[in-house]
Amino acid sequence: MTDITTDQTADDSSATPPRFDDFGLAPPIMQALADQGYVHPTPIQAKAIPIVLQGHDVMGAAQTGTGKTASFSLPIIQLLMAHANTSASPARHPVRALVLTPTRELADQVAENVKAYSRHTPLRSTVVFGGVDMTPQTAALRSGVEILIATPGRLLDHVQQKTLNLSQTEIFVMDEADRMLDMGFLPDLQRIINLLPKQRQNLMFSATFSPEIKKLAASFLDKPVLIEVARSNATADRVTQVVYRVDEEDKRDAVVHLLRGRDLKQVLVFSNTKIGASRLSRELERHGIKAAPIHGDKTQNERMAALEAFKNGSIDVLVATDVAARGLDIAELPCVINYDLPYSAEDYVHRIGRTGRAGASGDAWSLCSDKDVRLLADIEKLIRQKLTPVELVGFEGRSARNSGDKNHAERSERPERSERRPSDRGDRTASDRPRSASAPAPRREKIDPWFLKPYEPSEPAQAQTEPVLSKSSKTAPPIRRAALLGGGGNKT
């Protein structure tokens, strides 16, 4: 990479919004967009599509949820239309575009999108990822596909088994490059890049641009155009962030209280550990809240089933770790809850970016105990915003309950506290270990969260004295359903 050109397209919100018709896409692609109900490209699409169509390398700064999949899939399909043919011969359908993703879920979702956008063309696509039988993947590869979506490990398995030839790849996409590096895929990536023809177009997308990412970009992008969409902090403007001050031992009850209080549907709860996610999910189930965990120890089929159940509304809460959630194409959720504050402040931005998209408002609630104080300070520094912890109105934690009960009878009825500690410790890696608990406690302020909500002129006037978390409250906001997986057709 010799230099980087920054896309100079003005972000003029007063101008007529761009339309997909402006890009000169082929009629079968326009038909697919009409099927999806898309009319206006998202900002990343408006910027990336013309640049990819011109054949430039791209370095795209965008997260899942911005429409980035279509920003590369649509121009790729358009560029490959020149090769589209209906021949039955596999030789006439070599892999011409390779999309690498860090997780199976993301691979699957990108593949669903590519299938939807190319459905009226003769172009073929398939997806290969680990954790499932290789045989059907091999059969699909053998019959020939122009667009291949893959996770790095399984892709290399196929290369080794000689079921895949990448020598005619013209376009290479690296999606969520930062997460690829986090997950230790760098050696695999280098191996894969070496298998590709030297002459090709490269597109790299990453939510963050660390020095490592820039180094990787420099190693394989050629004069890339840098495309950035509104920074994540802009997303945060539409999200009402509330940090609740709770004792560590009260966090599970606090999640139940929050979920019950608003009768919330389609909530993504983040846990820092796999065991923590499973336990919280079980605890929610015990309280009659339909929940499922999603994390790296779950099989691919279990993850897919949980996601599908969340999508179709048969469960209301998905309890996820960051790695598992990163690949999920879940947009416009009404609410995310941080059961744990993340160890990396950037993950906080990713998490809350799951809500408040596309002009919609969303809630991001975080539980903060004494041990989370330093993590909260890191987050505040990153987002340049003060997040003062407040009391959770109407919630009485265990210590408060116990102090009001002279006999402390309840303690003996609740064994989880002592049972929980060893495994919670064991589930964390050394680098994940929570930081010192001796940090100063955050200032406590009793603020009713109602006052932290953005002004909503369409809402009827409400009695401000009523606790906002009252389950029976007639003033509770209407439940907003998420837009999930593959756009319009899949919206619940």
Chain positions 368 to 397 lying near ligand AMP, rule: CB under 6 A, are: none
Q: Is 229 in the site for ligand AMP (CB under 6 A)?
A: no
Q: Identify which range of 59-67, 180-188, 294-302, 320-328 contacts ligand AMP by CB under 6 A.
A: 59-67
66 binds ligand AMP (CB under 6 A): yes
Contact 271, 321 (CB under 8 A): yes
Rounded Cα distance, 239 and 58, in Å: 29
Tokens of 110: 């990108």
Determine the angle formed by the axes of helices 274-286 and 251-262, rounding to 10 degrees: 50
Buried b (16+ CB within 10 A) or exposed e, 421-445: eeebeebeeeeeebeeeeeeebeee
Contact 29, 249 (CB under 8 A): no
- Closest approach, Cβ 106 to ligand AMP, in A, equals 8
Q: Which of 32, 45, 335, 469 binds ligand AMP (CB under 6 A)?
A: 45
Q: List phi, psi (to 5°) of 58.
A: -130, 140
Cβ(322)–Cβ(330) below 8 Å: no
Select 175 or 346, whichever has its Cβ closest to ligand AMP: 175
* Closer residue to ligand AMP (CB): 67 or 434: 67
Task: Tell which positions 234-293 bind ligand AMP, by CB under 6 A.
Answer: none
Among 63-71, 196-204, 239-247, 472-480, which window interacts with ligand AMP (CB under 6 A)? 63-71
CB of 182 to ligand AMP, least distance (A): 19
- Least Cα distance to 117 among 489, 484, 483 occurs for 489
**Residue among 398, 394, 396 at smallest CA distance from 472:** 394
Judged by CB under 6 A, the stretch of 147-155, 249-257, 309-317, 480-488 that binds ligand AMP is 480-488
353 binds ligand AMP (CB under 6 A): no
Q: What is the CA angle 173-189-62, rounded to 5?
A: 40
How far is the C-alpha of 344 from the C-alpha of 158, rounded, in Å?
Answer: 34
Beta carbon nearer to ligand AMP, 65 or 442: 65
Say whether residue 103 binds ligand AMP (CB under 6 A): no
Handedness of CA 77, 7, 238, 12 (dihedral sign): negative
From CA 245, how far away is CA 243, in angstroms rounded?
7
Does the protein bind ligand AMP through residue 67 (CB under 6 A)?
Answer: yes
Closest CB to ligand AMP among residues 248, 329: 329
Give the residue at shortest CB distance from ligand AMP: 487
Question: By rule CB under 6 A, what count of residues binds ligand AMP?
Answer: 16
Binding of ligand AMP by 486 (CB under 6 A): yes
Nearest distance from C-beta of residue 115 to ligand AMP, angstroms: 12
Among 29, 58, 70, 482, binds ligand AMP (CB under 6 A): 70
Residue 112 in the binding site for ligand AMP (CB under 6 A)? no
Under a CB-based contact definition with an 8 Å cutoff, are residues 395 and 246 in contact?
yes
Taking alpha carbons only, the member of 193, 196, 182 closest to residue 219 is: 193
Q: Torsions phi, psi of 226, nearest 5?
A: -85, 120
3 state SS of 248? helix
Stretch that binds ligand AMP, among 38-46, 158-166, 258-266, 293-301 (CB under 6 A): 38-46
What sign does the dihedral 208-209-212-214 (CA atoms) show?
Answer: positive
Q: Can residue 182 be called a binding residue for ligand AMP (CB under 6 A)?
A: no
Residue 487 within binding range of ligand AMP, rule CB under 6 A: yes
328 binds ligand AMP (CB under 6 A): no
Quick one: 332 or 347, whose CB is closer to ligand AMP? Answer: 332
- Which residues contribute to the site for ligand AMP (CB under 6 A)? 38, 41-42, 45, 64-70, 329, 331, 483, 486-487
